[in-house]
Structure 1
Amino acid sequence: MLNWLLQKENKITYKNTTYSIDQFDSSLLERIIKSRFASEGTFAIEQLTNEGESHLTLTTPSLEKFDFQTTDRSVEEYILEGKIYQLSLSKHYYLPLFTGVTVDILNVLEETQCDTFTQILITKSSNWREEAIVRYENYLNGIDSPIGVKVLDKIQSKLVGALGKISNTEFKRQQFEEIEQKILQNGYQMEIRIVLLDGSETELERFITNKLSKTDMFNSLELVTAEESISKHIQDMTFQPTMKQIFSEQEVCSILSNVESITVPVETMKLNESPVSANTNELLNRAIDFLPSYPRKEEKITEDTIVSLQSAFKRVKITDTDIKILSSFQGATLNRFQIEIPENVNYSNIQKNLTNLQAAMGDESVSIEIGDQPNTFNLYMPRINRDIIWLKDILQSDVFKNHLSKSELPIILGEKTSGEIELACLADLKHLLIAGATGSGKSVFLNILIIVLLLSVDPELLNVILIDPKQVEFEQYKDFPQVSNVITDPEEAVSMVESLCVEMEMRYKEFTRLKVKNIQQYNRKSNVKMPYIVTVIDEYADLMMQNKDVEDHVVRLSQKSRAAGIHVVLATQKPLSTIVTSVLKSNLPSAISFRLKTSSDYKTVFGGGVPFNLLGKGDGVAKLEGQIKEFERFQSPVITLDENEEELIYGNLLEHFKDAKKQVPVDIVEEEKPIEKLKKIIANTGETKLGVLREQMKIRMNDVTDLIKELVEEGWLEKQGKGYVVVAEENELSKWRDH
């Protein structure tokens, strides 16, 4: 048995791996809580702050692999000799905290300037929701503190009912959206332990309690002295059996991150409420009228094809008898045969012989996959004469109309190999990576994606930014009112992506002012609607080659812009590992690929090979968040095959939007550099205390320390004792002051 697999009390556990990390940020937290193995073991973040320096480690189940340097974990005896605290919910875990603020507990502990050791344990919980629902129902019935034991809760309920009759009072409460949102989210068991090694107990308790008070709502977090047995749990990185605390995703993010919401759940649509306005529906119906469509071509599956198929399986010695074909389906690109796996044959044997099957049938594009019925597999053969999927047919289908009623940013992929229409919502996918070599159908797909958004979303709520370094793809959209920017200059393109980061931060400030968490809530609450921003970047490789800084901005957007209604569609012909880097790919979990030149290109896009030989001309494969199958193959639609007709169609579309108000372009601004921001703060306030500067800068203490060192080297500051004083000349300070 593998040495990392241990058997204990009939439960499989996994050996831990410990990594040394430079910082604990929102992207790392998101990876932890979204890990496939979040419920298979415990993730631990440990921080030792000593004499102004912090050392961080991350311990994970060995199933989850990170690209950090591994290290040995040890908790020295002196660490466990300090006073130990832990954060504790004051009420039962079904009652939520306020998540509209961030605590960022690790940085809070750095700010105290006390020497501390902090341990945070997280694991996904799967057996908490039923109890939470029962307690919530009792709470709505007027029981302030449900016990959670059925018999006792019934007694409480009867007492409340009796008191209500006596006093003629209704004790029932209204439903609370905040409580229901917590119960509907994923739940995580989390414990936070803090060991004070050196410093004032009173100062530490006062400082942390003040920070935690910002999260008070139905529930609150308290800093309490831990039980004596906690030392053993810290040493072993185990949860206390007597202290089960469940936090929602938003609560975990609020407590641990400096980002208000890493993952905001899509809110349930209210009855009769649709993201599609009546005007948009009318526009879509008018557009459908002048889009072309032609009858589908039928191509009979001949007896020769069946004979060839039967012969091939015998030829490569998979089976000696005729295979049993249960059904067949003719798609636009492929013929699909559902075949019963022959007796005494494993699917893996068929899979291993795929190349031999292709050779026997004289077609390297033949592919197979596991069937959707027991003991079956699907075999795909390209059609001799491929058919066309017309955009008009999909737009006027009931499937799309139903999808449109539930999607903020609907997109169409095309027809699946089963004949069903493949649809998605960009607002749910967050962002999208699209790859495809010349002639693969990538450019046609990008145009379909843009056209569908223009036709499906109210022009008031859609701002499209198109970036095309090759200057050939998006020129036809420049006069559309929803399209605020068409950028072809690479340097301007990089500045635009940087400006979107600034726009994102401005939107989050506006959300805070209105006390909402995402663009959907904002648009319901505000009289002035905030448009979604969809940025389509074609030939991303060209941008990367000209300015590698663009990756930092794209990654930052991909990490936290979804709630702000900013979405990025990234397309490239060259999915090299130096272009689609591991950092970028980890933040773009949804990807679509059309035909690529090499198998390594597919591995770069998807993290592994695909089980198909794509045929080009719109034959694509998708790997999307929330998709049931790992890979979904589809044939993308076209608007028309006639370039002259296409020009006429765009002209007609533009005419339909003539009364729509033009979207205001996103201002291209350079984001203020951290050192510049720090100079402004010091010049205007004279403040030099690290804790105060960190609070105003909203960055890690280590980063503030590095910036302070830069200012010392520049002659701005001078270290005196344990602090710093401003020594820059008055004329230098005046440059940075607000006038």
Structure 2
Amino acid sequence: MSYQVNTATGWDTEWFHELMKPRIKGSLKSQEVRKELANQGALPAFDNNYDWAMFCIAYCFAKDLIPHLETAPDAKGSEIPNFETCFQKEARLWLAYLSDALFELKQGKPCTRDDLYQFIQDLWHTGAVELEKRWYTYRKNNEHSELDAQKQFLEELAKLAQKHSNSRKKTAPSSLQNNDHSDHENSIVLDAEIVKKALERAKLAAEKVELIANGLRYGCFRVQLKQASDLDSNENKQKTLRSELNIADHALRVERNTSCGTLYTFDLKILRPRKEWRDFGKAEFQAALTQFQRKNEKLPVCIGIDEAGNAQFADLTDAPHCVVAGETKSGKSVFIRALLHSLCQLNSEKDVKLYILDPKRVDYQEFKRYPHLVGGNVITEIDEMVQTLHDLVDEMEERYSLLEAHHKNKVSDLADHARPPYCVVLVEEAGDLFDADKSAEEPLVRLAQKARAAGIHLIVATQRPDSATLSGRLRDNLNSKVALRVGKHQSSNIILGESGAEGLAGYGDHLIKWDGSETRFLHGYNI
């Protein structure tokens, strides 16, 4: 049966809605290309299947590939629940756009619904294949510099989008321009009934679904399934559920609720639309510090806010050393600044001295106003950074001699008159430091291994949580872990020892393990 419609009224009928229902299936090749280009840094990691599909389809239109489409060899790749999920708010516009191109390709012959969906599948497949070919052309032409290849590849895509920005109702180019996953936010308001139906479609039939709380950014739905499930640990089931809910990868968090005494109950935390978020800035941060009541903490610091809006604090001496990692724009530096501001405001300069080693030079100049900062300056030169680490090793050894003389095991056991101040050392962008001087790792590892009892505590930060930056010797001695958003689950595993950080929303959201404790999900203050 042909689906070509000649009247406007035909586009709002039961028949039209039937046209929208079939699942859109990609080829296995298109799925593999998506992973490959993201892993090689050619393109950002797309949050969901429909963004990747639209990107490939838009690329075909922008490159005039319609007459040269490659038939998708299979439909074993990623799936999208229906047409409207794939094309979002512009679904009707895209239907007209795709139909126009299909009718032109078929030279006016009647086209069936199957023809339309095969056309979409071929566009998705061809776009992926051609993007891969183009990327490898740049790789070959820049075999000594992958960074140059990435730059040229992305520049071509940007120029292509700009060139075609006024063509064919602007739909394809707008998709080419919107390839940064950090801009995708859940814009759908969900209720318990919608969630229950999505669970049923995902073959996770629910006995009961209720909205139990709206937190800072997430709505929390308590779900009692009809049978036991591994939903909290099964990524494939979560992927299917996200697809049925029509939300991005980072917009769903699943936690097993053990308080109900059943294997059937889960808390689904679903990201609300951005306009409904509650943001916590400088005023709320200062209020939290003012209201903090010290108990037995030796070096209290603020580590974020929970979903209920409660400030969370920890003792840095318990850490005793910390790694903080996250990709660009994840909120890593903002998190560290909040932690250090709380350190300086909750602790006297007589009790703690702060060292900041920052090769980027720009993020921590505001700390010059604190008397805690040693020398009153942020250390920005590589040679001076390395020397500072060696000096701290010497300081550590002197403190051990002091402990031995007083027959004590750690600095906190010393009497007030004999106790030196704690030292907190931030090493920002450790990867850049190691790239510039590989010898810097040795004193840093020695401090991580031995400095706890001497009252010296490290905060090691990086945008590159890989084995080259965080060697096993260093990583094993940084007991506390803070992971902001990263691009790959492998990066999350390096930081936390588990996946999860690749699914964070950004904006300062982080997973934290303090001195080996259970992983917690917190938000950051925007200061």
TM-score band, normalised by the shorter chain?
0.5 to 0.7
- What 5-or-longer segments of structure 2 have no aligned partner? 1-186
Q: Tell whether 2:519 aligns with 1:636.
A: no
Structure 1 distance, partners of 2:463, 2:289, is: 34
In the alignment, is the contact (CA less than 8 A) between 2:485 and 2:501 conserved in 1?
Answer: no
* Aligned-partner residue type, residue 550 of structure 1: A
Alpha-carbon distance in structure 1 between the residues aligned to 2:233 and 2:420:
54
**Structure with the largest fraction of helix:** 2
Residues 1:347 and 1:461: Cα distance change in structure 2 (over 3 Å): same
Deviation at 1:437, TM superposition (A): 1.1
Q: Could you say which residue in structure 1 is the equivalent of 2:109?
A: none
Aligned-pair distance for 1:507?
0.9
- Matches of residues 450-529 of structure 1 in structure 2 within 5 Å? 450-485=340-375, 486-522=378-414, 525-527=415-417, 529=419
- The answer for the alignment partner of 1:448 in structure 2 is 338
After superposition, the Cα gap between the structure-2 partners of 1:310 and 1:549, relative to the gap in structure 1 and judged at 3 Å, is: same
Residues in 1 aligned to 2:397 and 2:367: alpha-carbon distance in whole angstroms: 28
Q: CA deviation at 1:480?
A: 2.3
**Normalised by the size of structure 2, how large is the TM-score?**
0.59
Distance 2:387 2:341 in 1: 26
The answer to whether 1:361 aligns with 2:251 is no
Matches within 5 A, 1:543-562: 543-562=433-452
Pair 1:466–1:302, CA change in 2 (3 A) = closer
Amino acid at match of 1:480: Y
Tell me which structure has the larger Cα radius of gyration: 1
Report matched runs for 1:284-295 at 5 Å: none
Q: State the Cα deviation string for residues 702-738 of structure 1 (Å, max 9, x = none).
A: xxxxxxxxxxxxxxxxxxxxxxxxxxxxxxxxxxxxx
Q: How far did residue 479 of structure 1 move?
A: 4.1
In structure 2, what residue type is equivalent to 1:354? Q
Which structure 1 residue ranges, 4+ long, deviate > 3 Å from structure 2? 301-304, 347-352, 390-400, 417-421
The structural deviation recorded for 1:343 is 2.3
Counterpart code for 1:309: V
Q: Which moved more, 1:409-418 or 1:538-547?
A: 409-418
Residues 465 and 484 in structure 1, CA contact (< 8 A), matched pair in contact too: yes
Contact 2:479 2:516 survives alignment (8 Å):
no
Distance 2:245 2:516 in 1: 36
The alignment of Structure 1 onto Structure 2 pairs a total of residues equal to 331
Counterpart of 2:279 in structure 1 is 388
- Structure with more of its chain in strand, by fraction: 1
Alignment partners' CA distance in 2, 1:302 and 1:573: 31
Structure-to-structure mapping, 1:226-265, within 5 angstroms? none
Q: Name the structure 1 match of 2:164.
A: none
Q: 1:526 to 1:417 in 2, by over 3 A?
A: closer
Q: Does 1:433 align with 2:317?
A: no
Match of 1:343 in 2: 226
Hey, what's the Cα distance between the residues in 2 that align with 1:350 and 1:511? 47
The aligned amino acid for 2:525 is: P
Contact 1:394 1:400 in 2 (8 A): no
| 503 and 367 in structure 1: CA distance in 2 versus 1, 3 angstrom threshold | same
* Aligned-partner SS, 1:487: coil
The range that moved more, 580-589 or 385-394, is 385-394
Instruction: Give the distance between the partners of 2:476 and 2:215, measured in 1 at CA.
Output: 33
Counterpart CA distance in 1 for 2:227 and 2:509 is 34
Q: 1:398 to 1:588 in 2, by over 3 A?
A: closer
Q: How does 1:338-737 map to 2 (within 5 A)?
A: 338-340=222-224, 342-348=225-231, 351=234, 352-363=236-247, 364-365=249-250, 366-373=252-259, 374-375=261-262, 376-385=265-274, 386-390=277-281, 392-393=283-284, 396-397=287-288, 401-402=292-293, 404-417=294-307, 419-485=309-375, 486-522=378-414, 525-527=415-417, 529-610=419-500, 613-627=503-517, 629=518, 631-639=519-527
**Distance of 2:215 and 2:449 partners within structure 1:** 38
Residues 349 and 453 (structure 1), Cα distance of their counterparts in 2 relative to 1, 3 Å cut = closer
Query: More displaced, 421-430 or 606-615?
Result: 606-615
**For residues 614-653 of structure 1, what are the alpha-carbon distances to aligned partners after superposition, in whole Å with 9 as ceiling and x for unaligned?**
01111111122252x3x211101123xxxxxxxxxxxxxx
Provide the C-alpha distance between the structure 2 equivalents of 1:425 and 1:318, rounded to a whole number of angstroms: 41
Shift of 1:424: 1.2
In the superposition, the TM-score normalised over structure 1's length comes to: 0.43
Of 301, 309, 316, which residue of structure 1 is paired with 2:202? 316
- Other-structure match for 1:664: none
Give 1:508's aligned amino acid: Y
What amino acid is aligned across from residue 636 of structure 1 in structure 2?
G
Deviation, structure 1 residue 589? 2.0
CA shift, 1:526, in A, is 4.5
